[in-house]
């Protein structure tokens, strides 16, 4: 029997970010598809072992269309847990939200956010006149999730902002939403409270902190 814990909460964040869940011809399927070029290491060394740990299933990794890399598992137990116990939807994720059972527990919420940002978020180092400036951003079609994330980050002491993207010239395009936290102070809080497991994000943070340390040492000489 699957039990909700911090590891399952993090996997739930991965699901909200790059996962999908449906029933095809009566067969319950859960799919995770990440960017093959940027996230292959994360899928192989972190997500796959996590799936094996929390669900007892070793995923068979494969390439998907349009440069995606991941897996599909067939398990009625996993799909029913995600759908009935956590309330994650079958099919489109436009109305998806972080499950209440996770939101109400800050330790679970932090792990869920880590999984979400490691899949659908990004670390961006903006070059300013005053030096490199870090930004952590998440872009989603679910306004509910973006608002939930913003509230959790504020509870952790981070400042953040939300904005909406509209596409009036793109037929059938849905609006998307961004939540962003900026600056070294917020990055430090993030790394202490949430952190990253995706190598692409870790490398950017290490590159940024390395540049800051180099600058500080140079000024001290």
3-state secondary structure 166-199: CCCCCCCCCCEEEEEEECHHHHHHHHHHCCCCCH
Going by C-alpha positions, the residue among 112, 105, 125 that lies closest to residue 7 is 112
pLDDT in tens, 120-159: 999 999 888 888 899 999 999 889 999 999 999 999 999 9
Q: Report whether pLDDT(174) > 80.
A: no
Q: Report whether pLDDT(1) > 90.
A: no
Structural domains of the chain, ranges and CATH numbers in brackets: 6-93 (3.10.28.10), 120-220 (3.10.28.10)
* Both tokens assigned to 111: 């792990």
pLDDT in tens, 201-215: 998 888 887 765 444
Please give the radius of gyration of the chain, using alpha carbons only, rounded to the nearest integer. 18
Long-range contacts of 92-95 (CB under 8 A, 24+ apart): 93/16, 93/20, 93/141, 93/142, 94/141, 94/142, 94/174, 95/142, 95/144
pTM for this predicted structure: 0.91
pLDDT-based confidence at residue 168 (cuts at 50, 70, 90): low
């Amino acid at each position: 029997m699957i039990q909700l814990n911090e590891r399952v909460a993090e996997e739930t964040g991965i699901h909200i970010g790059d996962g999908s869940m449906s029933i095809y011809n009566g067969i319950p399927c859960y799919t995770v598809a990440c960017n093959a070029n940027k996230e292959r290491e994360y899928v192989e060394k972190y997500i796959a072992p996590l799936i094996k740990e929390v669900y007892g299933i070793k995923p068979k990794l494969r390439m998907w269309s349009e440069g995606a890399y991941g897996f599909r598992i067939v398990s009625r137990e996993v799909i029913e847990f995600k759908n009935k116990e956590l309330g994650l939807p079958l099919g489109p994720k436009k109305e998806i939200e972080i499950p209440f059972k996770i939101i109400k527990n800050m330790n679970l919420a932090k792990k869920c956010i880590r999984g979400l940002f490691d899949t659908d978020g990004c670390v961006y180092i903006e070059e300013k006149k005053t030096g490199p400036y870090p930004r952590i951003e998440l872009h989603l079609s679910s306004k509910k999730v973006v608002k939930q994330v913003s509230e959790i980050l504020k509870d952790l002491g981070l400042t953040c902002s939300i904005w909406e993207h509209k596409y009036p010239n793109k037929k059938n395009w849905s609006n998307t939403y961004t939540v962003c936290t900026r600056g070294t102070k917020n990055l430090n809080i993030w790394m202490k409270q949430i952190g990253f497991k995706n190598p692409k994000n870790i490398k950017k943070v290490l590159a940024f902190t390395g540049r800051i340390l180099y600058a500080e040492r140079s000024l001290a000489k």
